[in-house]
Structure 1
Amino acid sequence: MNTATSGALSGAASEVGRRTTERLAALARRVRGRGTDDARPPTVPTDAAARRDLAERLFEQARREPAFARDLLAWLRETDLLRDTTGPACPAAARPWMLPPGTAAFTDREPVRQAIAALLDDPGADAAGAPRIVVLTGPGGVGKTATAVHFARAFADRFPDGQLHADLRGASPATAVTPSATLVRFLHRLGVPADRVPATEQEQTDLYRDRTADRRLVVLLDNAHSAAQVAPLLTAAPGSLTLVTSRHGLPELVRDHGARVLRLGPLAGDDAVLLLTRIAGLEPAGAQRAHAEAVAARCGGMPLALCETGALAAGREEVDWERLEREFASLGPGPAAPAPADPTRLATDVAYRALAPAAARLYRLLGLCPWPTIPVGAAAAAADITPAEARALLAELAGARLLEPAGDERYRFHDVVRRHAELRAHEEDGRAAAGDAVERVITWYLDMAVAADYRVIPGRWHLGPAYDRLPRPAASSAAARAALAELTRERENLAEAVRAAEEYGFDALTWQLCEAMWALHLRLGFHEQWVATHVRGVAAARRRATDEPRAEGRMRSQLAFAYMGLDRLADAERELTAAAAADRAAGHHRGHASAVESLGLLCLRQWRYEDAEQRFRQARTIWDEVGPDDDGAEDAPRALALLENHLGRALTGQSRFPEAIGQLRHALTRFHALEPRDSYNEGRVRMSLGESLLAGGDVAGAREFLDDSIAVMEGEGATLQLADALELRAGCGDAAAFLGRARELYEALGDAAGVTRVEVRLRGAG
């Protein structure tokens, strides 16, 4: 029972989770009102002890009262296995194949192959049931990533359940990806629907290990900064292999998880020459052989330097190894000097100096920020050129091995090379030109995100001049899906754009970027990133308060929703309270009402139904202050209709069913009067009415409204909400038929949790 209550409460953010926890609240109120002098309303149990106490109270009441026992049993049947927020793996879930492409020029590293093969073949590891973890360490440019990718692919036939890959961007703490962000990506690829991914890192880790427990996977965690970044991403499956690359030894992985550390050094002389000439595409002969060997020595056996130099040779009409040797000699001391130059930096400088001026300028400007990937449009913005020109220059940089292809006309820097580009930009372009280039890229990302966000939720209120430049698009499910995919693809770049905007002092761009990421975070989560970006957004909005006084309240309200997703409810309440104060001080009635309404929704989540009612009534009063020419006047009718629905839910939570039903009928009347009609939210109100009538014992009345809601959701194509309505309708009779339909919808959605929940109810109905 304690597990069931924990699972129900952790799933409270979803629509089904909301109903489930509200039914639990109703049971808790019945317990509180019997056999005790404590008349206080129950509150959400927030820790294990409080949940255990609630479970004991519920069972004790069930032992005393048969009717309560029946209601508790029905609730348990509906929530059985809810603690697993996704249920068993969906059979249709695709196996992940996330490894990047390898290279035909890969050379040597035979000891690594032997060590991995020995680990995989070790019967002792099988007997211990221990996961197999290999850490490849070495300096930047030594070829850790290429080695890990090569051998992950070489042993792929041993891992038929797929391949997971993440670049952890651990060159510095500032760029390192959080474990939560990687876990969310992995869970999506393992078949977990976006709305079923838990918000907290610990819950994500638990679910990830559950989903990988019986799979034979190879997991490549590239460029790790610390063991703490890696540990949540380790599977517990003995049949899987985890490859980690890092410039650090990560001794904690050895101590705590038995990882095997393999240190990579520079390639030996013959292998260095072999890699160099493979990239160049020509085997040197005669006297040229000695010059090629000298060039390889100048590269210090570092694969990155050898690849850059080989690409430079390949790009010339004739490969002249003697000339290349002279170019190296002109830039740095010889390999026998007491303090030789960094070979990778030296090779990068040689390759850079061979670039055409336009390509060299683009190279410098792209290196100013550690963009996770670089699409063509962002590159064009950086240099203020056309996409066609940028595309050609990017291809030139990739041919010189100064950029790495990242798929779908996207590129990335090796961090060692990026630092070289950044240094060259500051020395050759100056701070003003560098700032202009960064501003152009940030503006490009803002315009892209605004256009996409507008398509995902066209009807919401949008703040910022970037939205004013665009006409409001018509609602389209296909356009919304494509726009959300675009935002997802650029998610990490958008977060970097927020950081860069703050660094360069572009406060107006900072908070507008956060505003443009609302649909992305609302639909897909990534709560840790959401908090990180919006903390910056709040600070930027406060600094620009005289330019846009409404921005601070907007940023704080959005930050509060991020905190709610992480179950940091006290932080959420603090931000919403501050948002209400900021909007009140700015005279922004619309924002003030929205913040107070959100406080009410937070109270609903905490079972503080009386407080929620008070907040909703207060928000309604604030809306009355919005004049016909004020911001938000055109949205007031819809906002007030939504508030009436919220009020009805708050009254239902207090078991004041006649008042709740009257309130919800009034909400329905308000929605009927809207022009244009909001059929979707009308259907939601009908669902709320059916739920309240059913809770109050009026099965026939509930049936009528739920049938109407089902028809609306079918017409709207709102599949998940339709499944919710069908589950509710099953409580009004003919349960097997409606639950069967709901199960079909959940199966089509790939929602394993919905399938599991409905099947439990079907067994009970049978």
Structure 2
Amino acid sequence: MSGLGRGNGENESPGVHNDLSGTVSGAAFQIGRFDGQVYLGEQPHRPASEADPVPHEVPVPLGEFVNRARELSQTRTLLDPESGRVRVAVFTGLPGVGKTAVVQRAVALADGAYPGGELYVDFARLREGGGAAVNDGLADCLRALGVEEKVIPPTLAARSNLYRTRTRTRPMVVVLDDVAEPAEVAPFVPSSAGSTVLVTSNRQLSELLLDEAAVVSVEPLSDESGVELLGALCGPHRGADEPEAMRELAGLCGGLPVALRVAAARLRSHPSLAVADLVAEVVAEDSGLAPFEFPGAAQVSSVLSACYRDLPSRAARLYRTLGCFPGTDFDSDLVIALGDGSPAEERRALAVLVEANLVIDKGTGRYRMHSLVRRHARGCADNEGDPRRRDVLGRTAEHFLRRAAFADLAVMGPGRLRITEHPEVLGDEPSPFSGDAAKQDALEWLDEERPNLMAVLRSALDENEYRTSWQLAEAMTALFVNLRYLEDWVESSRLGVWAARLDEAPQAAVRLGSFVSRAYTDLGRLGDARAALDEALPRAEASGNPRLLASVWELVGRLHDEYARTSDAEAHREKAVSAYQRALELFAASADDRGTAFVMYFLGRSQLARGNQREALATLENALERIRAVPDDRMAGRALAAIGLTHHALGDGEKAVAFLQRAIDQLVEGKDDYYEAQAREDLAAVAGQRGERELQREQLRRALEIHVRFGSPRVDKLREALDDLSR
């Protein structure tokens, strides 16, 4: 079943086991696992705020577009924000037939009709990068809807709930491109009546018909339309001079626009090449995309092969190289890293491939191969016995490892515990991340390249490049600590531990295997976190590395603090304090000032939770002094806030207010809005107990402003608190 009527439990695998039960009837539409139905008919909506972002993410259709009147007419009836119901339409057809182009054109024609805007999810990129496509796609949508990274929930179920909340006020269009499984659709259905979901897929997705989804079948272009597209792309004189040859070439392209564009590029770049001669080349070619079993596959392969043979040697070499690249999209830096020529030569080769329509220029500094073209390019490398395939994978891994290590250094600083010494990876190369924006630039690079990093990690392990694999997994933790891609964190750590053991690097296995406990904890998988630490602790003790052992004890303490929130609080708090104290001894013995300062902060918070206020105060004041010496402004602000709460617990309200205000000033200066909002809520609570209503109201109002900007689920609770103060 499709999954449009069933929930998205945390233990379900997106796109695999998320099944449908039930059908849609009338204006009722059920999404996820609910106790009742969600009706998308005449429902009251909260007024949309002028500050709410209106995304417009669907790419603008480019190039020539011919003979899709039937598909556009069908789509036009579905794009009706006044319909009072949510509609789902599946655009299905062969790879390369133009499904995405039809959807993009239809959305462009409906420009401005949907007050909620348009969302776009590219499942091909998410899936090929190895990510949890549904979970990651929901996170992207939430960001586009104004939800800040720090408040995006980690689990699929929580993200689905927040997505429904954020899409309830205004009709919108959601385009899901290259869906592979019916269950990938349900979490993205908006909850606002009048919304439309347009799905493209190479599969029929027949199970969605049970939910009354419409089906728009995108057929290959007719020969006449193929000739029209060829003529539009390479000039009308071609059709006039050789009408029969143009018709035959269109037929050989199987009606697939991707093949037609490649053929047109060949003719356009070679004005003296007769259409009949190109037809002869295509007919003579009998090899190609054999793994694709659909009508027209051989013709597509032949067209691509004819174009490939005409490439200059350096462009042909780059074509084969990119076919071996294990990732998705890429930038020119990767092209240069994989080439043997000068940067200018490699960029010219890339330009040749773009001109030939073998590589797509996304207009953002990034490039991509169509899946059929990439498969063909890989086949060329295999068929020609290209000895560089392993070299390409090695260079790719080296390129991404070096960049990831530079990014890790820029984001986390030099004092962090790392098993890999940076000089081993970085050498004398200057960092690509420098200046005041180095940290932000590095984080953006890690975020952009995440699918590629995951794909390269897998391929490096497959090629027995064990050291590269675990070093890459270690560097990637800088991304996961800051942006919380928890499922990827778990997978990369699992692969990294495996690689480290095969490389006989036990300390790396311990570091990766213990640190992933933070991801398990955020996912609510405390049992997995405990199992990971139970395995890591004796190995860390046997490692002879006191910093490594200290880090594991710190993680043990933080896990017990999490357990204390659920059961047997006193026993777990006591164990947490004991673990932190052991970590402090080891960090101090290793002269690790950063580790000592941070663990003291966690220890102080744990002591405060146990009710040991004076002990907590001394610990937190010590932690603050050490944190400032590191330095770390964000942690200093958090420590000031904790000291303020401790003074409040000791009954000194004036000091509590003073320290919390200092914490807020520190966090405002550092532009750390998320922790600023926390400190303001803490100050509001203290002010409320002191009877200072105006101060309480001011802090709640400022915290609300931040959470509204984040798109945080706390908005409603803060508004309720402010309403209570007004009564």
Give the residue type in structure 2 aligned to 1:549: P
Asked if the contact 1:89–1:752 (Cα under 8 Å) also holds between the matched residues in 2, the reply is no
Relative to structure 1, the CA distance from residue 614 to residue 138 in structure 2 (aligned partners, 3 Å threshold; closer, same or farther) is: same
2:140 aligned with 1:185: yes
2:303 aligned with 1:352: no
Q: Superposition pairs for residues 13-162 of structure 1, below 5 Å?
A: 91-120=50-79, 126=83, 129-162=84-117
Shift of 1:523: 1.9
Relative to structure 1, the CA distance from residue 446 to residue 88 in structure 2 (aligned partners, 3 Å threshold; closer, same or farther) is: farther
CA distance in 1, matches of 2:143, 2:270: 45
Asked if the contact 1:266–1:302 (Cα under 8 Å) also holds between the matched residues in 2, the reply is yes
2:244 aligned with 1:290: yes
Asked if the contact 2:550–2:587 (Cα under 8 Å) also holds between the matched residues in 1, the reply is no
State which of 656, 662, 679 in structure 1 corresponds to 2:612.
Answer: 656
Give the residue type in structure 2 aligned to 1:611: H
Give the residue type in structure 2 aligned to 1:575: A
Shift of 1:697: 3.2
Count, aligned residues: 662
Q: TM-score, normalised by structure 2?
A: 0.84
CA distance in 1, matches of 2:603, 2:170: 47
Relative to structure 1, the CA distance from residue 444 to residue 475 in structure 2 (aligned partners, 3 Å threshold; closer, same or farther) is: closer
Shift of 1:526: 2.1
CA distance in 2, matches of 1:395, 1:170: 22
2:721 aligned with 1:761: yes
1:562-619 Cα shifts (integer Å, max 9, x gaps): 2222211111221122222332222222122111211211221222454344344344
2:575 aligned with 1:614: yes
Give the residue type in structure 2 aligned to 1:213: R
Relative to structure 1, the CA distance from residue 640 to residue 466 in structure 2 (aligned partners, 3 Å threshold; closer, same or farther) is: closer
Q: Superposition pairs for residues 696-711 of structure 1, below 5 Å?
A: 696-711=650-665
SS in 2 for 1:408: coil
Shift of 1:491: 1.8
Q: TM-score, normalised by structure 1?
A: 0.80
Give the residue type in structure 2 aligned to 1:592: L
State which of 541, 551, 570 in structure 1 corresponds to 2:500.
Answer: 541
2:522 aligned with 1:565: yes
Relative to structure 1, the CA distance from residue 99 to residue 171 in structure 2 (aligned partners, 3 Å threshold; closer, same or farther) is: closer
Q: Superposition pairs for residues 414-453 of structure 1, below 5 Å?
A: 414-430=370-386, 432-453=387-408
Asked if the contact 1:299–1:305 (Cα under 8 Å) also holds between the matched residues in 2, the reply is yes
Give the residue type in structure 2 aligned to 1:390: E
Asked if the contact 1:89–1:191 (Cα under 8 Å) also holds between the matched residues in 2, the reply is no
Shift of 1:752: 4.5
1:728-766 Cα shifts (integer Å, max 9, x gaps): 223144342364256346536713446554444334445
Asked if the contact 2:138–2:188 (Cα under 8 Å) also holds between the matched residues in 1, the reply is yes
Relative to structure 1, the CA distance from residue 246 to residue 584 in structure 2 (aligned partners, 3 Å threshold; closer, same or farther) is: same
Partner in structure 2 of residue 594 of structure 1: 551
Partner in structure 2 of residue 505 of structure 1: 464
Relative to structure 1, the CA distance from residue 173 to residue 372 in structure 2 (aligned partners, 3 Å threshold; closer, same or farther) is: closer
**Range that drifts further, 382-391 or 403-412:** 382-391
CA distance in 1, matches of 2:655, 2:297: 82
1:198-218 Cα shifts (integer Å, max 9, x gaps): 111011111112211222222
SS in 2 for 1:380: helix
Partner in structure 1 of residue 155 of structure 2: 200
Asked if the contact 1:170–1:177 (Cα under 8 Å) also holds between the matched residues in 2, the reply is no
Give the residue type in structure 2 aligned to 1:524: L
CA distance in 1, matches of 2:65, 2:400: 36
Asked if the contact 1:521–1:530 (Cα under 8 Å) also holds between the matched residues in 2, the reply is yes
Partner in structure 2 of residue 377 of structure 1: 333
1:116-171 Cα shifts (integer Å, max 9, x gaps): 12334598xx3xx4321111111212122222222222223322422211221189
Partner in structure 2 of residue 68 of structure 1: none
SS in 2 for 1:624: helix
SS in 2 for 1:166: strand
CA distance in 1, matches of 2:47, 2:328: 33
SS in 1 for 2:324: coil
Give the residue type in structure 2 aligned to 1:736: E
Relative to structure 1, the CA distance from residue 727 to residue 192 in structure 2 (aligned partners, 3 Å threshold; closer, same or farther) is: same
CA distance in 2, matches of 1:475, 1:713: 23
Shift of 1:185: 0.6
Partner in structure 1 of residue 218 of structure 2: 264
Partner in structure 1 of residue 23 of structure 2: none
State which of 144, 160, 167 in structure 1 corresponds to 2:122.
Answer: 167
Partner in structure 1 of residue 348 of structure 2: 392
1:173-192 Cα shifts (integer Å, max 9, x gaps): 88575200100011001100
CA distance in 1, matches of 2:526, 2:56: 37
Give the residue type in structure 1 aligned to 2:361: P
Shift of 1:250: 0.7
1:352-377 Cα shifts (integer Å, max 9, x gaps): 11111111111111111442201111
Partner in structure 2 of residue 647 of structure 1: 603
Shift of 1:394: 1.7
2:516 aligned with 1:550: no
CA distance in 2, matches of 1:380, 1:92: 43
SS in 2 for 1:342: helix
Relative to structure 1, the CA distance from residue 712 to residue 260 in structure 2 (aligned partners, 3 Å threshold; closer, same or farther) is: closer
Asked if the contact 1:552–1:582 (Cα under 8 Å) also holds between the matched residues in 2, the reply is no
CA distance in 2, matches of 1:304, 1:91: 41
Give the residue type in structure 2 aligned to 1:394: L
SS in 1 for 2:178: strand
Partner in structure 2 of residue 515 of structure 1: 474
SS in 2 for 1:133: strand
RMSD: 3.0
Shift of 1:92: 2.8
2:275 aligned with 1:321: yes
CA distance in 2, matches of 1:169, 1:229: 12
CA distance in 2, matches of 1:735, 1:435: 68
CA distance in 2, matches of 1:678, 1:522: 16
Partner in structure 2 of residue 40 of structure 1: none
Give the residue type in structure 2 aligned to 1:667: A
Give the residue type in structure 2 aligned to 1:197: I
**Range that drifts further, 148-157 or 372-381:** 148-157
Give the residue type in structure 2 aligned to 1:442: A
Give the residue type in structure 1 aligned to 2:651: G
CA distance in 1, matches of 2:312, 2:355: 13
SS in 1 for 2:200: strand
Which runs of 5 or more residues in structure 1 are unaligned? 1-9, 11-47, 49-86, 334-338
Shift of 1:715: 4.5
SS in 2 for 1:326: helix
Partner in structure 1 of residue 178 of structure 2: 223
**Range that drifts further, 296-305 or 178-187:** 296-305
